Amino acid sequence: MSTHLPDGAKAVAIDILIHGPRSRAQLAKDLGSSAPTLTRLVKPLLAAGVLVETDAVHTPGRGRSSVPLDVVPDAWRFVGVKLTSESVYAVTTNLRAEVLDSETIPAPSLEVSAVVTAVAGIVERLRGRAGRELDAVGVTVGGLVEDGKTVADSPFLHWAQVPFRRLLAAEMAPPVFLANDVVGLTRAQQWFGHGRSSRDFALLTVGAGVGYGLVMDDRVVPTTVSPVSHLAIDPHGPLCPWGHRGCMSSYVTSPAMTAAVAQAHRRAVTYDEVLDLAGGGDAAARRVVDEAAHALGRAVSAITSLTGVERIILSGEGIRLVDVGRAALHAGRLEYPGARASGVDPVVVRPMDFLEWARGAAVVAIQGVFPQR
């Protein structure tokens, strides 16, 4: 699919992609452009097959300006890859970020060249199964990604200053885009999730770490290493790996929670087991889950107070914490009363699994091809 289109034309395609099919007249109105300008912008999109006129039924008396235009999502193929220290998760999507295929493999090792080879291999297999060329590949990792090019610091992969985009691009034909994993999830919500109805929103993820993404006025606000990960909750709380007492990471991450319950029971436990034990009334697990959920509630209040976002999306692979610790989460939120007076609960929960992370990476690729102005 050709992507050599003027920025103005791409903006029309992006608007239709996010907000759905509309007529030329409605698009001109929504985008604040004149009808002739809109018609000029649409022409190359129709010629390139990016847009189609969808009105199958001809209505007498209706002009061309009333025929709805839509994107052709299946004219495109993107691959998104999310790296963790244990596995490589990959999905193939169309332009609407609908997952068409997926593959998960164990991470070969954390050695950079081995990871590059593994990513190139999984992308090639997905391309082969798609039966056509890929339009772009998006790759996300936990940690600090600079300029979309360099993994500056990833505590999960134990990488520092790795020029990962260049290394990947040398091994594959399609354009490669690199981003932080939470940024990928945030972008997926921005275009294809809850963000479609909110210009301002925050995303808070729980799981192996605590992730934070912020969109203000339709733009992803760049954040360095998650400012919420080590937000102070209780000065008398447990220690996090960085030596903070009672920060978010000391309560909410899956390693912190499993370690605390394992210590109480003198045996190893998994994250799901911690939640199951808490749900079944185990005192130690209940306390750990409630403290984590309470800390999450405090963080939610802090974020809504600090940013004024109208919506906060809770997600991440550890999101079942919200179900098991619902009452404690609520109590934590109430400790900052008045943070939100509109009466509308800003919190929504987005269930997810690891493929959702890979889908976020695919959205990084989609937005790489269709950059938002």
Residues that bind Zn ion (CB under 5 A): 230, 240, 242, 244, 247, 249
- Give the CA angle between residues 254, 123, 115 to the nearest 5°: 55
CB of 209 to Zn ion, least distance (A): 11
Which residues, in sequence order, are CB contacts of 73 under 8 Å at separation 6+?
Answer: 94, 95, 96, 98
Task: State which residue, 293 or 309, has the beta carbon closest to Zn ion.
Answer: 293
Residue 307: Cβ within 10 Å count: 16
CA distance 90 to 78: 10
Q: In sequence order, what are the beta bridge partners of 176? A: 137
Task: State which residue, 144 or 168, has the beta carbon closest to Zn ion.
Answer: 144
CB of 256 to Zn ion, least distance (A): 10
CB of 247 to Zn ion, least distance (A): 3
Task: State which residue, 55 or 153, has the beta carbon closest to Zn ion.
Answer: 153
| Start-to-end Cα distance in the chain | 21
CA distance 123 to 177: 13
CB of 225 to Zn ion, least distance (A): 11
Residue 302: Cβ within 10 Å count: 19
Task: State which residue, 244 or 359, has the beta carbon closest to Zn ion.
Answer: 244
Q: In sequence order, what are the beta bridge partners of 105? A: 88
Q: In sequence order, what are the beta bridge partners of 178? A: 139
Task: State which residue, 237 or 279, has the beta carbon closest to Zn ion.
Answer: 237
Task: State which residue, 38 or 295, has the beta carbon closest to Zn ion.
Answer: 295
Q: Can you give the three-state secondary structure of 168-196, one letter per residue?
A: HHCCCCCCEEEEEHHHHHHHHHHHHCHHH
CB of 230 to Zn ion, least distance (A): 4
CB of 158 to Zn ion, least distance (A): 18
Amino acid (1-letter code) at residue 238: P
